[in-house]
Amino acid sequence: KIIRPAVITGRLSSVPGNLS
Amino acid sequence: MSLPVLHLKGIIVELSFRTGEQISTEQYLQLQRMCNEFMTQNVQWKPSRFNARTAVDDGGLMLFNSYTGALAVFGPEENQQVVALLDARPDDPVPESSLSLQEQLLQHGFLVNAATDELKQAEELHQSVQQQNSMHLVLLATEACNFRCFYCYESFPRATMKNHVVSGLEAYIQQQAQSGKLQQLTISWHGGEPLLAPHVIEQLSQSFIRSCDQHGVLYGAEISTNGYYLSRERFEQLLDWRVERFMVTLDGSEEVHDARRGLHGGGGTFRRIVDNLLSLKDVQRPFEINLRVNFDNSNLEAVTDFIPQLTEWFADDPRFKVFFRPVGCMGGENDLNLSVCDDRTKDRKIWEFNEAAIAQGLTVSSFISDILLPTGAICYAAKPNSLIVGSDGKLYKCSVAIDQENNQLGQIHGDGSMELDLDKMALWTTSGEETDAKCQACFFRPACQGNHCPLYRMRTGNRPCSYEKRQIKRTLRTLWLQSQSEEVK
């Protein structure tokens, strides 16, 4: 089953850890 | 490979790269399929270096390729054949019974021609990020906020976007659209709380839509809002202004949420946000609302207990999706008091929450699969065609480090002209895989290019791997569970 076939641009999708 | 096939392959490669902007994705994929049909019979192949795989509960196998973005599930009866094809040596004969599977693996990029230079392909993908035919602007409609969330890193020094900035943005986009070079414009409405300044969103949206429609530019927008002013009337206006994706945060039950995300000056916010969200279920139009849940050590149990409540409210409407993220110390005034989870707890809980949500009938955010697209995990701060515009017209790359000197790139003026420090721009756009051999060799390279978060790399010196990449097997399992859940529904 192909969930997404083979196939870009937003902001909503985060910093991956603590910065301080 | 026989000469005629080599010749055909050469033509196809030339077509897709030299005239890439003129052929549609459909045409491109059709050419690729034709190419694969010939290749299946005539060439040696190898597994792509950009594959990731995980076993799933029914004995099947989930495959992901970060260069093509393909996601595929194989049943238990196909599992062994697929593994054999992926682990075979290039000159191993392929059993007749595996030929159709092999063709599928080629079509979606899990197998590639043994002569393919995949690192070169990754470099070419990196070059495509430099193209200037699409633009992404993060606009701070206001930098004020009516909330005072205890983990927030913002300091709210400026209020509503100035008139000269609004007119400057209108002129700038009109000029860009008119130039004929711009094909796509994406706007992220942000703040502060952007819905404190709906008149700014209205004026700019209408102007952008007019300019884009007039010149054939594809336009779309998204918004991050605390949800307090997201009434049904306001929501439908935003849909009219082509805002398609929303993010609203709920951190647990009323008591838990209100203690973390209260009003400026005191007062709860949960009840009003939930009432607003529930009223939107009656809107008969397409949209996506991501319900973000921020967690730390102090609300881990509360989040687990909150999932059934979210299920009761939103499981019957897949336009509402859930998105779990750990709280981090980002330089906010309350950083020393935050009970942030350690890295192992963060990595474990994100996927535990997602799996619990799916098991109870909720839909997980499309952000997860978006991050797995080619270039999908690159931060906007690392893209040359992306800028943040502050309410006073200041230009930034990163929305988390507004006060950082090398993040203040210039200014937009009332006539649409911009002053932009290109040396500072380069600090953000060239700090990824270019100088990191581990990133260059990573299976996730086409998705993030070592640039998921340039700020994190600058501040800590560590690789900014995304949560999805760090736990790729759990990520793939989540997407598999989601696809199983959709089948049942």
How confident is the model over B187-227, as pLDDT tens digits? 999 999 999 999 899 999 999 998 999 999 999 999 999 99
At B43 the pLDDT is 73
**Statement to judge: residues B325 and B256 lie in one domain:** yes
At B18 the pLDDT is 37
- Across B160-314, the runs of DSSP E, i.e. the strands, are 184-190, 218-224, 243-249, 261-263, 288-295
**Statement to judge: residues B69 and B175 lie in one domain:** no
Is B405 within a domain?
Answer: no
Give tens-digit pLDDT for B453-463.
999 999 999 99
Range 190-249 of B in CB contact (< 8 A) with A: 190, 222, 224, 245, 247
Partner-chain residue, chosen from B69, B190, B224, that has the shortest CB–CB distance to A7:
B69
Query: Residue B32 and residue A1: Cβ atoms within 8 Å?
Result: no
Is B179 within a domain?
Answer: yes
* Mean residue pLDDT across chain B: 91
Q: Taking a C-beta distance cutoff of 8 angstroms, is the pair A5, B70 a contact?
A: yes
**Statement to judge: residues B375 and B482 lie in one domain:** yes
**Statement to judge: residues B92 and B145 lie in one domain:** no
B400 touches chain A (CB under 8 A): yes
Query: Residue A20 and residue B376: Cβ atoms within 8 Å?
Result: no
Is B366 within a domain?
Answer: yes
**Statement to judge: residues B77 and B104 lie in one domain:** yes
**Statement to judge: residues B210 and B243 lie in one domain:** yes
Closest CA to B235 of B320, B330, B176: B320
At B127 the pLDDT is 85
Residue of chain B with shortest Cα separation from A1: B73
pLDDT at B476 over 60: yes
Distances (CA, A) of B320 to B408, B412, B482: 36, 36, 14
Is B411 within a domain?
Answer: no
- pLDDT category of residue B19 using cuts at 50, 70 and 90: very low
How many contacts, defined by CB atoms under 8 Å, are there between A and B? Answer: 110
Among B63, B93, B116, residue at a domain's last position:
B116
* Cα B356 from Cα B308, distance rounded (Å): 9
Range 250-289 of B in CB contact (< 8 A) with A: none
Range 451-480 of B in CB contact (< 8 A) with A: 452-453, 455-456, 459-460, 462, 464-467, 470, 479-480
Residue B237 DSSP symbol = H
Is B328 within a domain?
Answer: yes
* Cα B202 from Cα B208, distance rounded (Å): 10
**Statement to judge: residues B30 and B81 lie in one domain:** no
At B2 the pLDDT is 32
Partner-chain residue, chosen from A5, A8, A19, that has the shortest CB–CB distance to B375:
A8
**Statement to judge: residues B138 and B13 lie in one domain:** no
Question: Measured between beta carbons, which residues in chain B are less than 8 angstroms from residue A5?
Answer: 29, 70, 108
- pLDDT category of residue B6 using cuts at 50, 70 and 90: very low
Is B431 within a domain?
Answer: no
Q: Taking a C-beta distance cutoff of 8 angstroms, is the pair B264, B152 a contact?
A: no
Range of the domain at B23: 1-43
pLDDT at B15 over 50: no
> If interface means Cβ-Cβ distance under 8 Å, which residues of chain A face chain B?
1-20
Among B95, B116, B137, residue at a domain's last position:
B116
Summarize the confidence of residues B248-263 as an average pLDDT. Answer: 97
Question: Measured between beta carbons, which residues in chain A are less than 8 angstroms from residue B72?
Answer: 1-3
**Statement to judge: residues B90 and B183 lie in one domain:** no
> Phi/psi of residue B180, each to 5°?
85, -10
Question: How near does any CA of chain A get to the CA of B337, in Å?
Answer: 12
Q: Taking a C-beta distance cutoff of 8 angstroms, is the pair B271, B279 a contact?
A: no
Range 140-169 of B in CB contact (< 8 A) with A: none
Partner-chain residue, chosen from B222, B456, B462, that has the shortest CB–CB distance to A11:
B222
The mean-pLDDT minimum among B43-47, B327-331, B458-462 falls in B43-47
- A4, A8, A11: best mutation site toward chain B, by most B Cβ within 10 Å? A11
The continuous run of DSSP H or E covering B79 comes out as: helix B76-87
Is B442 within a domain?
Answer: no
Summarize the confidence of residues B147-154 as an average pLDDT. Answer: 94
Is B413 within a domain?
Answer: no
Among B57, B86, B116, residue at a domain's last position:
B116
At B41 the pLDDT is 54
Summarize the confidence of residues B274-297 as an average pLDDT. Answer: 97
**Statement to judge: residues B155 and B107 lie in one domain:** no
* Cα B186 from Cα B244, distance rounded (Å): 11
At B80 the pLDDT is 82
Give tens-digit pLDDT for B366-397.
999 999 999 999 999 999 989 999 999 989 99
Which CATH number goes with the domain that contains B323? Answer: 3.20.20.70
Cα torsion B472, B474, B478, B480: sign: positive
The mean-pLDDT minimum among B33-37, B191-195, B356-360, B421-425 falls in B33-37
**Statement to judge: residues B213 and B331 lie in one domain:** yes
Give tens-digit pLDDT for A1-20.
899 999 988 989 999 999 97
- pLDDT category of residue B33 using cuts at 50, 70 and 90: low
At B45 the pLDDT is 79
**Statement to judge: residues B252 and B290 lie in one domain:** yes
**C-beta atoms surrounding B277 within 10 Å:** 21
At B120 the pLDDT is 87
Partner-chain residue, chosen from A4, A15, A16, that has the shortest CB–CB distance to B70:
A4
Total number of domains constituting chain B:
3
pLDDT at B39 over 60: no
Give tens-digit pLDDT for B111-146.
999 999 999 899 889 989 987 789 999 999 999 999
Q: Taking a C-beta distance cutoff of 8 angstroms, is the pair B224, B323 a contact?
A: no
Tell me, rounded to whole angstroms, the distance of Cα B90 from its chain centroid: 35
Question: Measured between beta carbons, which residues in chain B are less than 8 angstroms from residue A19?
Answer: 328-331, 400, 455-456, 459-460
Query: Residue A15 and residue B455: Cβ atoms within 8 Å?
Result: yes
Strand order in the sheet with B61-65: A2-4, B71-74, B61-65, B51-55
At B34 the pLDDT is 66
Q: Are strands B147-149 and B261-263 parallel, antiparallel or unpaired?
A: antiparallel
* Cα B192 from Cα B158, distance rounded (Å): 9
Question: How near does any CA of chain A get to the CA of B306, in Å?
Answer: 22
